[in-house]
Structure 1
Amino acid sequence: MSTNPSPLWLTRPGARTWRCAPAPAGVRAFHAALPDYAPTPLTELPSLAAELAVGRVLVKDESHRLGLPAFKALGAFWAVHRALAEREPAPVTLVTATDGNHGRAVARAARLVGQDAHVFVPRGVPARAVAAIAAEGARVSEVTGPYDEAVRRAAEAADRPGSILVQDTAWPGYEEIPGWIVEGYATLCAEIDEQLAGVGPDLVCVPVGVGSLAQAVVTHYRSRPSGQAPALLAVEPETAACVLASLTAGTPVSVPTGDTVMAGLNCGTPSSLAWPYLYGGLDAAVAVPDAASLRAADDLAGLGVSSGPCGAASLAGLRALLTGAGAEERRTALGLGPDSVVVLLSTEGTPAC
């Protein structure tokens, strides 16, 4: 019998009956018109399905998206397009805070449209990720505090004339641009529908930082008729499980964050824009340790999928729930059986996170 400890997790019966409006039309067409656009692979991994006693496991591989190593380009490119369309033509500086990939995507978007970028980076972000942002031509300011402090600093810098804050988390009074970023992620979900060719997944596993990607996933699957609703699982680092803590409390809360190899998920406060969707539409949330995410990344690499610790968190979370003590109870709570189809979102490739 496995001696694995029970995971830090929460299940929420009734989430599959929650409903919301769909994402707006036009996002997919915008992305499809970009020179580097192509759907990212949905790779089936039978060995993982056998290990976890489900019918199919498929990984949405975001290691190459619009010329960058993560899904973040979908949201950043769409939001920058919308933000600049709302302004008179003039030089601007696009400002953001990032744990890595979002900042690089904003910097790339700025470079493509001939504008400047200023990116604030919190402690703990790997030097290679900082260097990749700078290589896009952005000004980079490193912050000694955590992600939330970097966001505060970015918001202050964006108050200057000629600056636009392009942040992928929201708070009261700042929700329009984060909403556009979430809209951009809808393309990822639309591709999954096409790639599954009408076979709806039974479970979708989403790595979560502030919850913007999870908001997009909830919006996609909870805007469908009741009979087409999969279970949705959020996966976070144990050291930064703000969504799990908030779902447990029933209200958004901030948690202190520590160091983690899942740097892109190292966020202490859920997005205010995402929160109603997370609270309404997530079936479960689980927190995983670094070791589990690193193991998952190594296993995915061995199966031909490039995934950093953030992207591999989805597999680590699935393993935490479907193995070890209490696994059958958790499997039942998620409605999984031997024929279930599971989609793992691998949000970024190696080595940046």
Structure 2
Amino acid sequence: MLDSDILSFDPDVARALEFFHAQDNYEVSPLVEIDGPGGRTVQAKLETHRMGLGAFKALGAPYAVARIIAQGWLEKTGEAIGPDRMKDADIRAFASGHTFVCASAGNHGMGVAAGARNMGAKARIHLARTVPEGFAARLRTLGAEVVRSGDVYEDSIAAAIADSLSTGATHLADGTWEGYTEIPKWVMEGYCVIAEELRETYEAKGSWPTHVYLQAGVGGLAAAMAHMIRLNWAVQPRLIIVEPEAAACLQASHLAGKPVRGDGPESSMGRLDCKEPSIVAWDVLERCDVHYATLSEEEGEAAAQALAGQGIATTPSGAAGYGALCKTDDFSPSDKDIRPLVIISEGPA
């Protein structure tokens, strides 16, 4: 039985918002209307240009990097620092002695690399052979060292763990497992900003979504969003967690009543192709009254192509929520009370 304290998730969203509001490249990502199945209007939160990285992950790892540096400085000097102080030369000199390592299927590594560069630290990213070389090139432009480690994502995770143990670098993962939960909770705390942006928008508009589709790999984004929606949205929607058929680890864990693997072949939804769930994300989702949907490879590709036809460039991973809506939408087009929301989680690879 997993300890409830280890699995707890109690984010300080005000702290995350304070951090991002102090960043020169932060702005609220757009909420737009797009065409859905059966002529339905669908609202889409576009993370495709988030903070220059083109994905929601820009809100996770960079925030966690800053928190880790701030905590290290507090332990060394006794001084608690805020976002503005983090730009000072002495803090950057302190950060230069830190190296962050992680495994990545693409975007999380971009977040770690960008966060490290922003603070003056170093980053080393482990990629499995399945990650496109284009991601490796983008990581290098952010100053990160790239190491090819293993055939699949789980191999690169093992390599990142071994790296941190042998070198003393800080392992900054976005998934959680027994013995490793606290730093990824900070990553998830950053993702909560998306839900807060949406809450503020909907409170001003007065028209809340009835259904929210959240794609999931290990589950960090989905769990952070679900937690915040259940915590403080004035109108509660139906929450649908979307995974590839080839990597439905969260659905499998829900059915098993405990974290289990979701094995399958390699998926073209590469950023969602995670066979092991985050145990914290799984526990959060179990408490948030969510439903599950899966997408085939063909359905993921079709969703990305359909969005491209509307001028939104994304990947099958970024389009997964839209794909699940298109697959499962059995609402009557005349039902004006149905207002779906999807997250376009990343731009093109």
Tell me if the contact between 2:128 and 2:150 (Cα under 8 Å) persists in the aligned partners.
yes
Superposition deviation, residue 183 in structure 1: 0.3
Local SS of the residue matching 2:232: coil
Report matched runs for 1:287-302 at 5 Å: 287-302=294-309
Cα 1:276–1:188 change in 2 (3 A) is same
Q: TM-score, normalised by structure 1?
A: 0.85
Superposition deviation, residue 315 in structure 1: 0.8
Local SS of the residue matching 1:274: helix
Tell me if the contact between 1:75 and 1:183 (Cα under 8 Å) persists in the aligned partners.
yes
Alignment-derived partner of residue 338 in structure 2:
340
Local SS of the residue matching 1:59: strand
Q: Does 1:177 align with 2:191?
A: no
Report matched runs for 1:175-214 at 5 Å: 175-196=181-202, 197=204, 198-214=206-222
Superposition deviation, residue 23 in structure 1: 4.5
Report the AA paired with residue 304 of structure 1.
G
Report the AA paired with residue 115 of structure 1.
A
Report the AA paired with residue 137 of structure 2.
A
Tell me if the contact between 2:11 and 2:189 (Cα under 8 Å) persists in the aligned partners.
no
Alignment-derived partner of residue 122 in structure 1:
128
Report matched runs for 1:71-86 at 5 Å: 71-86=56-71
Q: Does 1:36 align with 2:25?
A: yes
Render the CA deviation track for 1:306-331: whole Å, top value 9, x for unaligned: 22111101111111211xxxx46xx9
Alignment-derived partner of residue 57 in structure 1:
42
Local SS of the residue matching 1:256: coil
Local SS of the residue matching 2:68: helix
Percent sequence identity over aligned pairs: 35
Superposition deviation, residue 162 in structure 1: 4.1
Q: How many residues align?
A: 318
Alignment-derived partner of residue 27 in structure 1:
16
Tell me if the contact between 2:250 and 2:262 (Cα under 8 Å) persists in the aligned partners.
no
Render the CA deviation track for 1:273-331: whole Å, top value 9, x for unaligned: 11111112142111101211111111112212222111101111111211xxxx46xx9
How many angstroms apart in 2 are the aligned matches of 1:23 and 1:145? 37
Superposition deviation, residue 61 in structure 1: 0.7
Superposition deviation, residue 245 in structure 1: 1.2
How many angstroms apart in 2 are the aligned matches of 1:200 and 1:21? 24
Cα 1:278–1:337 change in 2 (3 A) is farther
Tell me if the contact between 2:211 and 2:341 (Cα under 8 Å) persists in the aligned partners.
yes
Tell me if the contact between 2:253 and 2:260 (Cα under 8 Å) persists in the aligned partners.
yes
Report the AA paired with residue 185 of structure 1.
Y
Cα 1:85–1:21 change in 2 (3 A) is closer
1:112 to 109, 115, 118: 118
Alignment-derived partner of residue 83 in structure 2:
none
How many angstroms apart in 2 are the aligned matches of 1:23 and 1:31? 13
Alignment-derived partner of residue 81 in structure 2:
none
Tell me if the contact between 2:249 and 2:274 (Cα under 8 Å) persists in the aligned partners.
yes
Report matched runs for 1:90-101 at 5 Å: 91-101=97-107
Render the CA deviation track for 1:196-248: whole Å, top value 9, x for unaligned: 323221111111000000111111111137x6221111111111111111112
Structure 1, unaligned runs of 5 or more: 1-19
Q: Does 1:215 align with 2:223?
A: yes
Superposition deviation, residue 130 in structure 1: 1.7
How many angstroms apart in 2 are the aligned matches of 1:78 and 1:200? 28
How many angstroms apart in 2 are the aligned matches of 1:220 and 1:300? 27
Alignment-derived partner of residue 240 in structure 2:
233
Question: Which one scores higher on RCO, CA 8 angstroms, separation ≥ 6?
Answer: 1
Q: TM-score, normalised by structure 2?
A: 0.86
How many angstroms apart in 2 are the aligned matches of 1:164 and 1:144? 20
Tell me if the contact between 1:21 and 1:223 (Cα under 8 Å) persists in the aligned partners.
no
Superposition deviation, residue 75 in structure 1: 0.7
How many angstroms apart in 1 are the aligned matches of 2:340 and 2:11? 22
Cα 1:28–1:142 change in 2 (3 A) is same
Alignment-derived partner of residue 273 in structure 1:
280
Local SS of the residue matching 1:80: helix
Superposition deviation, residue 143 in structure 1: 2.0
How many angstroms apart in 2 are the aligned matches of 1:25 and 1:160? 36
Alignment-derived partner of residue 6 in structure 1:
none
Local SS of the residue matching 2:207: coil
Superposition deviation, residue 70 in structure 1: 0.4
Superposition deviation, residue 36 in structure 1: 0.7
Local SS of the residue matching 1:185: helix
Report the AA paired with residue 27 of structure 1.
A
Higher helix share: 2
